[in-house]
A and B are shown apart, each in its own frame.
Chain A
Amino acid sequence: MTIAPSARRKISGKKHAELLPARELRGIIETVLRLAKSTVASETEVHIDEVADSLTRFANNGIHQNVFEHCATVSVRTVTGGRTARATTNRLDEDSLRRTIEASLSLAHSEPRDPRLLPMPGKQRYRTVDRFVKATAALTPEERARAVRLACDWASKKGQVAAGIFSSGQSQTTVGNSRGLFATYCETHSQFSITMQEDPAASWAKADSADVREIHPQELAERAGKKARLAVKTSELAPGRYTVILEPAAVLDLVGFMFYDFAATAVEDKRSCLNNRIGKQLFGKNISISDDVFHPRQKGAPFDGEGMPRQKVLLVDRGVPKNLVYSRASATIARKKPTGHGFALPNEYGEAPMNLVVSGGDSSVETMVASTDRGLLVTRLWYIREVDPYEKVMTGMTRDGLFLVENGKLTRAVRNFRFNQSLLDMLNHVELMSPAVRATGEESFEMVVPAMKIGKFHFSEVTKF
């Protein structure tokens, strides 16, 4: 997008004024640790999470919702007598912090002793990542409104109706504990998402970045608008198995459902599709997947819920699941090293990879279309849910632009399909991939994934539009 002058201005200090300064974060942690010293807590951990987020929402070519929120929470985990529990508040005064410590201890006292509970980790070293962009933090409601106005005016001019969001904000997370661990991270975020409607069709485009200057609302509006126009006249195809070209958002939203299975705790609980499958050729040899918080297109803190440094983990190597991610607890059980993917304790889920990077190829959506005799180009998928947890069969709908490809060309739009498709099977039929990009959808968190051309994708039913 074109940033208005006010967003380009220099801002003094490291952060925008909305967030608590670093000395205050450290001060809150020191206060909690000091207060906890006079209790029966043998160990104490403190999390501070703070957000200052804005979101401008539009529909029918005008803004209809426009919101801002600020919230800072302090979460305290205490350990006493081999028991642990967590209490959280957003009241930051000393009396409230003291009550929160007491609430955590009261919860802990009520449970049986946990013989597996580990001592808290000590001081750690972290690799620095910088994802705080001043231009994003400084974006104003007026600037968002002007960008929305341009997109809506373009829609009106084309006889279309626009709906979507333009959001921006900043957040920070800090962890400290009574063994000297201290970790803090802040980032900015921005998203523009637009649905262009031309009755009875619609299409969609979305972008996400820490840097709002990388988001181009007008381009997204025009891309969605052109596809919506192509989709006005649809015909119905019979359900069946088709070659599909999934745009990155469709890949993201579908494969995103698989990665909780790469948690060591999920495998230990026998609820993972990787039960008895690690080390075997599960996917095609062209599939390699890593979890890498340091990837230049990724976001998120370089430490986990216990403050352990995140490691880059190769999850799938040429189609073979090689590694899982571990919290300290699951690593101890499996006699592995923790990878820095644990959730804040106590919890029953353990850990999960959150910064996925799927290796891409050197193709492009255009090349995929040109190489397809008969297939379907999928813009986006919707309401994806798991049908079979072991074969990883997922169901869901296509949405906002499904196009028939014949003899290397888009020939017409078709009615949306329901799919029932095994992800394991799907990742054995990937024929072409584009380079991986930072993709954003609505069903999974953001990842770095390619567009994919996939054979034998199973559509089971068709809907009415």
Chain B
Amino acid sequence: MMLMWDLCTNALDTAKLRGASYGDVRAMHLRQRDLTTKNGQVGTLAQSESVGIGIRVVAHGAWGFASTDRLTRDGVAACAAQAVSIAKASALANRSKVVLAPEKAYIDSWQSPFRKDPFEIPLGAQLALLLAADGEMRKVKGVTLTETSMQFRKVDSWFASSIGSRIHQRKVISGCGIGATSFQGQEIQKRSYPNSFGGQHALEGYELVESLELLKHAPVIAEEAAALHAAAQCPEKFGTLVLAGNQLGLQIHESIGHPIELDRVLGQEANFAGTSFLTLDQLNKLKYASSIVNVVADARLDHGPGLGTFAYDDEGVPAQCTDIIKDGKFRGYLSNRETAHLIGLARSSGTMRTESWNRLPIIRMTNVSLLPGTWDYDDLISDTADGILMDTNRSWSIDDRRYQFQFSTEIAWEIKGGKKVRMLKNPSYSGITTEFWNSCEAICKFDHWTLWGTPNCGKGQPMQTMGTGHGAAPARFRNVRIGTAFSKQ
């Protein structure tokens, strides 16, 4: 660890000598293990490590960033000099000088809690579990493709800044999921557990995998995948929609999490990820949602072991909880040290995050969560006279200002007279963000709340993939447009 601090100090000293007025450095060591199976055979079996340093500086009032994996004193000094040189080039086309909100210096070390280090669990046992789940799914007639996966990451980062911070963090992240696909006639149907696109991911150890009870759920989703072919088509109509927590998590991500990113709002993502309908004049005025909706961006461990949980962001700002929607009203953005003052904040909300040592930290969702409501899940279903329950995302899309969205899910259930009466295939729903959230009329309580992990959020140029957390319990929405994706019109 001393070597990393030495390199950080070397980088900051060089940057200062070269003319930087501010600098921060992230030395990182990332380890990853990927296991997959397909149709009873091992698919991917791979392990990787990556070590390097990223140096961000302000010189001549402009930003520069350079990164290298040449971790010698000379290699890091050259990288720091290059960062300053790039900053000076930025100043050739800079409209305003960088101003950073004040922040204290911190000297700290933090490790995310876990009970079982996934890198210490024998690989044979991990593969045996995946192959057993794969086998359970393949027993079901009609299933034509079975897939399972586990992914583990261990990330050490050493952050140092020219204001005196020295922060070491270690995060252990686990993920796991299974899926069964059925091709029959002219149709491919799929079911996944506990979520699609890689399952559940969290800032936990191997205990996450053990808690998921893969062998219990494998035959259930396999039966559902095969049964979907005979299920009725989801109707096209306006009606009552109940969303399972895993789908609601992605709904929050796309229609609340992204629009509140202040870099988008300020036009910094206009060329790629897009902008936001949440212009600055909307803050504290817009009725974003119905009065039962409360959303926070909470990076603190108190919120749970989410993919957006940390002790400090990658700008050296401590984890915080920010109200985003309070009693339905729009209350806050995700900000950093550069943008906080633009919305009248004295301090960054602590959301700068980087994928790796070779990427610049950018504003990112932390854990953007819908707080639990008051409903028991069984009561919510029995209180629904006529509705459709949709579970597990299949596709997702939203416009570049985050107004109009469309989601489809793997499976749905028709609810009549307070009971789930039949399975529906090819479900989808669509709408306008604020209209949708204002139609929220019931949210289940904490017993049904899960902090879902979205491991594949893409943003930035060059592209960065980041994990974000989204706490959600099942919720009910009125008068939602249903079934458009499969309309034959």
Q: Which residues of A contact B (CB under 8 A)?
A: 53-73, 75, 84-91, 103-104, 106-108, 110-112, 114, 116, 140-142, 144-146, 148-149, 152, 161, 163-165, 167, 193-195, 197, 202, 204, 240, 269-271, 275, 346-348, 382-391, 393, 395-397, 399-400, 416, 418, 420, 442, 458, 460-465
Query: Does B65 count as interface, using CB distance less than 8 angstroms?
Result: yes
Given contacts A144-B89, A458-B489, 7 further A-B contacts (CB under 8 A): A63-B92, A88-B49, A141-B64, A197-B270, A346-B43, A399-B399, A464-B403
A383 touches B399 (CB 8 A): yes
B270 touches A348 (CB 8 A): no
B46 touches A346 (CB 8 A): yes
8 Å CB contact of B89 from A65, A116, A142, A163: A142
Q: What would 6 A/B residue contacts be, using CB atoms closer than 8 Å?
A: A57-B461, A66-B65, A75-B48, A90-B69, A165-B461, A464-B403
Distance (Å) between the CB of A399 and the closest chain B CB?
Answer: 5
B45 touches A463 (CB 8 A): no
Q: Which residue of chain A has the shortest Cβ distance to B146 in the bound complex?
A: A269
A64 touches B397 (CB 8 A): no
Distance (Å) between the CB of B321 and the closest chain A CB?
Answer: 28
Bound CA span A114–B403, Å: 49
B485 touches A393 (CB 8 A): yes
Bound CA span A59–B272, Å: 11
Query: Does B111 count as interface, using CB distance less than 8 angstroms?
Result: no
Bound CA span A241–B102, Å: 54
Query: Does B396 count as interface, using CB distance less than 8 angstroms?
Result: yes
On chain A, the residues within 8 Å of B183 by CB distance are 270-271, 275, 390
On chain B, the residues within 8 Å of A385 by CB distance are 395-397
A110 touches B86 (CB 8 A): no
B397 touches A396 (CB 8 A): yes
Distance (Å) between the CB of A300 and the closest chain B CB?
Answer: 18
Residue of A86, A87, A104, A463 with highest tally of chain B CB at under 10 A: A463
Distance (Å) between the CB of B80 and the closest chain A CB?
Answer: 12
B51 touches A383 (CB 8 A): no
B45 touches A86 (CB 8 A): yes
A383 touches B38 (CB 8 A): no
A111 touches B270 (CB 8 A): no
**Known A-B contacts A346-B45, A393-B485, A461-B484; A141 and B271 likewise in contact (beta carbons under 8 Å):** no
Distance (Å) between the CB of B284 and the closest chain A CB?
Answer: 22
8 Å CB contact of A66 from B50, B87, B274: B87
B92 touches A149 (CB 8 A): yes
Q: Which residue of chain B has the shortest Cβ distance to A442 in the bound complex?
A: B272
A399 touches B147 (CB 8 A): no
Q: Which residue of chain A has the shortest Cβ distance to B481 in the bound complex?
A: A461
On chain B, the residues within 8 Å of A65 by CB distance are 63, 65, 360, 461
Q: Which residue of chain B has the shortest Cβ distance to A103 in the bound complex?
A: B47
Chain A binder among B122-130, B308-316, B345-353:
B122-130
Q: Which residues of B contact A (CB under 8 A)?
A: 36-39, 41-52, 62-70, 82-83, 85-87, 89-90, 92-96, 122-124, 127, 131, 144-145, 147, 181, 183, 186-188, 266-272, 274, 277, 358-360, 394-401, 403-404, 406, 408, 426, 428, 430, 432, 461-462, 481, 484-487, 489
B400 touches A382 (CB 8 A): yes
Closest CB pairs A-B (n = 10):
A348-B43, A62-B95, A141-B89, A110-B123, A463-B404, A88-B48, A149-B93, A163-B270, A270-B183, A145-B92
A55 touches B462 (CB 8 A): yes
On chain A, the residues within 8 Å of B46 by CB distance are 85-88, 107, 346
A114 touches B399 (CB 8 A): no
B68 touches A145 (CB 8 A): no
On chain A, the residues within 8 Å of B64 by CB distance are 66, 141
Distance (Å) between the CB of A361 and the closest chain B CB?
Answer: 30
**Known A-B contacts A57-B461, A393-B486; A68 and B66 likewise in contact (beta carbons under 8 Å):** yes
On chain A, the residues within 8 Å of B70 by CB distance are 70
B89 touches A66 (CB 8 A): yes
8 Å CB contact of B268 from A64, A68, A88, A395: A64
Distance (Å) between the CB of B4 and the closest chain A CB?
Answer: 14
On chain A, the residues within 8 Å of B124 by CB distance are 110-111
**Known A-B contacts A66-B89, A270-B183; A347 and B44 likewise in contact (beta carbons under 8 Å):** yes
8 Å CB contact of B408 from A165, A269, A271, A387: A387
On chain B, the residues within 8 Å of A348 by CB distance are 36-38, 43-44, 147
B404 touches A85 (CB 8 A): no
Bound CA span A61–B267, Å: 10
B93 touches A63 (CB 8 A): yes
Bound CA span A79–B89, Å: 49
On chain A, the residues within 8 Å of B65 by CB distance are 65-68
A388 touches B401 (CB 8 A): no
